[in-house]
Structure 1
Amino acid sequence: MADEPHDELLELAKRVAREAGEAVLAIYDKGDFDAYEKDDNSPVTSADYLANDIITQRLQEATPDIPILSEENQHAELAERKTWDRYWLIDPIDGTQEFIARSGDFAVNIALIENNVPVIGVIFWPPGQSIYYASAGAGAFKECPDGVRPIHVRKLSDPKSSVVMIAISRRQSRDKVLSKLCAKRVYQTLPLGSCSLKACFIAEGKADVFMRIGVTGEWDTGASQCIVSEAGGNIMAATFEPLTYNETHSLENPDFIVMGDQRVPWQDIIQYNPSEGDRL
């Protein structure tokens, strides 16, 4: 199992993400679910737990030698996790708040991490019937009812002056977001829900940048990082340092930025102040 190629594991992740996502969509359409509050005050629903059960069971059956790290499971301590050469990293529903609010902006995230690097990323958007996926060195793709196509970040006609499209949360203040960006540029905003869907829209060229300030976990970025990177973009900490996976006791991410066109001087555009303590 240790030598199983990425293409087989990618197809497995796609099948499992779709199965879990279709089950979640059926619950969403009926509106018949229970909502709870976790210890960190974040929401979780019976649909999250169902998706988690489906994904965990299917991956354990198909790849019993690959550990699973999911947002909704009890997390192994670092001493155990450090022995993992590779593992599945799962967010059963990214955008639970959007699921509850019925905006349609939620997704199933499955990533494979090898040697602390995301090498497979699958994000299924059930209401949009779209799967975004990538594996290391093989490019990024979007699969929807009308077919499969490769995706790439948008190349700005002039990286130093073109209008920048910013993906923002539906509940964000546009002015608050713009206050964290260089005032010398012109911006447009695209409201969206979950972190992973914003990343996917950047990967397919519908937006250029997304800045997340606030608490997230490594499962929020694993699949996205592989997809965005293979599409020609990047995800980094807001301090412009690399994100890490499975290297610390905490599984929390730092504040981070998803960036499209790598010719753009993003470090000149992003006005990040970690002492402000704001959430975006």
Structure 2
Amino acid sequence: MDKNILYTAIQAALAAGAEIMSVYTDPKADFEIEKKADNSPLTIADRKSHAIIAQALAATPYPVLSEEGAKIAPEERQQWKELWVVDPLDGTKEFIKRNGEFTVNIAYVKNGCPEAGVIYIPVKQELYFADIELGAYKIKDITDTKAYPSLDALMEQAERLPYANRTDDTFVIVASRSHLTPETEAYIHEMQQKHAHVETISKGSSLKLCLIAEGNADVYPRFAPTMEWDTAAGHAIIRASGKEVYQAGKTEPLQYNKTDLLNPWFIAE
């Protein structure tokens, strides 16, 4: 996609992350409030993040599909050949637990396929960004783009993915911190029969997909519900790093802007 448009999405994610942190670090914020309540810190952070992203992406040619705007009629969405798929705050349980493992996700989808993606981790100040033609990148200690006047400047300072060069024979499975199902446990057991050394890492939100893109994990099996906005940005980053997210038991990748926005089970590898 156009470098300036991807740069706009990166700026949107960073600005949204700053707004989320203003809520997350507020000493008066009551994290015991029911998460769906209108005055909960989660809901406030989600809304603030969404507003910033929606305003920034309005300057681009593409419509936005997000968790906040999921009520758009499928018939209308099906006309969109290119669109943004956005999760303004991915990792609700992690946000409420205050463990820092939540992200801002922005993906550009063309004809059902994720072509570019941005994931920002506000607590760690780490940014992942990717384009299928430019590759996948990670940059640390970033809160805004003041030091990086263009996408090219960002790419010059970022690490190209995958960067992990693991030399041991450990087979690393990454699993959800909050959704470890019996099917996932059975899959892990199956892998333990096939590999001499198996390690399981638990992470929240899109960080699981990022570990695959980095090369720090071999597989992420997801046998539990996810929505398109949970995976689109991570899927784009994984694709740009030379890997893929397949529908479980099939050779077809996940598709986006479907009539039903629920993902099937999948395996990222």
Q: TM-score range by the shorter chain?
A: 0.7 to 0.9
Higher helix share: 2
Specify whether residues 253 and 175 from structure 1 end up closer, same or farther in structure 2 by C-alpha distance, changes over 3 A only: closer
Choose which of 100, 107, 110 in structure 2 pairs with 1:104: 100
Q: Which sections of structure 2, spanning at least 5 residues, go unmatched?
A: 143-156
Q: What residue is the counterpart of 2:153 in the other structure?
A: none
Is the Cα contact below 8 Å between 2:13 and 2:106 reproduced in 1?
Answer: yes
Measure the CA separation in 1 of the matches of 2:186 and 2:25: 33
Specify whether residues 56 and 35 from structure 1 end up closer, same or farther in structure 2 by C-alpha distance, changes over 3 A only: farther
Measure the CA separation in 2 of the matches of 1:255 and 1:153: 27
Q: What residue is the counterpart of 2:200 in the other structure?
A: 189
Q: Which sections of structure 1, spanning at least 5 residues, go unmatched?
A: 260-280
Choose which of 212, 232, 244 in structure 2 pairs with 1:234: 244
Is the Cα contact below 8 Å between 1:35 and 1:45 reproduced in 2?
Answer: no
Is the Cα contact below 8 Å between 1:20 and 1:108 reproduced in 2?
Answer: yes
Q: What residue is the counterpart of 2:146 in the other structure?
A: none
Instruction: State yes or no: 1:66 paired with 2:73.
Output: no
Q: What residue is the counterpart of 1:276 in the other structure?
A: none
Normalised to the residue count of structure 1, the TM-score between the two structures is: 0.80
Instruction: State yes or no: 1:205 paired with 2:208.
Output: no
Specify whether residues 239 and 181 from structure 1 end up closer, same or farther in structure 2 by C-alpha distance, changes over 3 A only: same
Give % identity: 37
**Which letter maps to 1:190?**
I
Measure the CA separation in 1 of the matches of 2:266 and 2:233: 15
Q: What residue is the counterpart of 2:158 in the other structure?
A: 148
Normalised to the residue count of structure 2, the TM-score between the two structures is: 0.83
The root-mean-square deviation of aligned C-alpha atoms, in Å, is 2.4
SS in structure 2 of the partner of residue 127 of structure 1: coil
Instruction: State yes or no: 1:83 paired with 2:82.
Output: no
Specify whether residues 68 and 201 from structure 1 end up closer, same or farther in structure 2 by C-alpha distance, changes over 3 A only: same
Instruction: State yes or no: 1:244 paired with 2:255.
Output: yes
Aligned length in residues: 244
Measure the CA separation in 1 of the matches of 2:163 and 2:243: 6
Instruction: State yes or no: 1:54 paired with 2:52.
Output: yes
**Which letter maps to 1:58?**
A
Is the Cα contact below 8 Å between 1:35 and 1:44 reproduced in 2?
Answer: no
Instruction: State yes or no: 1:122 paired with 2:118.
Output: yes
Measure the CA separation in 1 of the matches of 2:130 and 2:34: 32
**Which letter maps to 1:184?**
K
Displacement after TM superposition at 1:76 (Å) = 1.8
Q: What residue is the counterpart of 1:218 in the other structure?
A: 228
Structure 1, 76-85 or 25-34: larger mean CA deviation = 25-34
Instruction: State yes or no: 1:11 paired with 2:10.
Output: no
Instruction: State yes or no: 1:165 paired with 2:175.
Output: no
Measure the CA separation in 2 of the matches of 1:96 and 1:167: 19
Is the Cα contact below 8 Å between 1:69 and 1:75 reproduced in 2?
Answer: no
Q: What residue is the counterpart of 1:278 in the other structure?
A: none
Measure the CA separation in 1 of the matches of 2:231 and 2:190: 21
Displacement after TM superposition at 1:155 (Å) = 6.2
